[in-house]
Amino acid sequence: MTYRLLTGCFIAFLSCVGLHEAHGASEEHLIVAGRHDVRVAAYQDIARIYERFDRFPQAAKEGLSLHFTGELLPDHDYPSKARLMVHSRDGDIPLFFGQDRDMHFPLTDRLKAENPPVLQTEAIGHNVRTELSLVVALPAAQTFTGIEARHWLRQVNACIRDLTGVILSWFMPDAHRLKIDIAPGANFEAVTSGTVRVLASNVTREPMTVLLRPQDYAEDTVFRSSKPFGRVRVKIPGEAYATFTPDR
């Protein structure tokens, strides 16, 4: 049973998390109320990630929240189709719902003490991969400034420096980027000294994600969308992915 990390940068970002990996163990199947389930993690494997983030300095994490966004591989399908469950003594607790790709992880002292297994109950043989990101609490629904964007990026640097003593973005050029979710039918623009530049137009019926390097624009630039942003995320350096997968 493992919750495998796919990038070494995440280990630097959330060092000392200590996710459990039982190398060499056979794949573990359980029969639960007539279901054929596979154990893919333990509760504390995931809870420790949230707890480590909670211990970051308040100034570094203020206005940021840690999110896991999932997809069912290999077809990038909705993670809810795998029916991942925290199998607690009081019943199964789903981690994903319907077409919502965000993981809804129940953080309670009771579950931490119990440390129940996380089971995959459907789509056995296919894995749910999650991307970890820091979601920004936007002060306005449709705009943010270059100054605000630079502040969010400095916060991530402060978190990493607190853990490792190193500003990771010095040697990782992709570290200073934002992921912007643009609503269907919306235009995303940068306005600098009265000059408007269209950065993206979403002509689809689904939200569209674009990458933005705020430092490529003047500090007084205003980034705006013609519709409210879906969300704005600070990109964790190096793409931080983790996958629910049984041991082999």
Q: What is the pLDDT of residues 21-47, one digit of tens each?
A: 333 333 454 555 556 799 999 999 999
Cα 59 to chain centroid, rounded = 20
Q: What's the confidence (pLDDT) of residue 56?
A: 83
For the chain, the helix, strand and coil percentages under 3-state DSSP, each to the nearest 5: 25, 35, 40
pLDDT surpasses 70 at 65:
yes
What are the φ/ψ torsions at residue 225 (nearest 5 degrees)?
-125, 145
What are the φ/ψ torsions at residue 130 (nearest 5 degrees)?
-115, 140
> pTM, whole model, 2 decimals?
0.79
As a whole number of Å, the end-to-end CA separation of the chain is 9
DSSP-derived secondary structure letter, 188: E
Q: What is the average per-residue pLDDT within 72-83?
A: 96
- The pLDDT-based confidence of 130 (bands split at 50, 70, 90) is very high
Q: What's the confidence (pLDDT) of residue 236?
A: 73
Q: What is the pLDDT of residues 178-216, one digit of tens each?
A: 999 999 999 999 999 999 999 999 999 999 999 999 999
pLDDT surpasses 80 at 176:
no
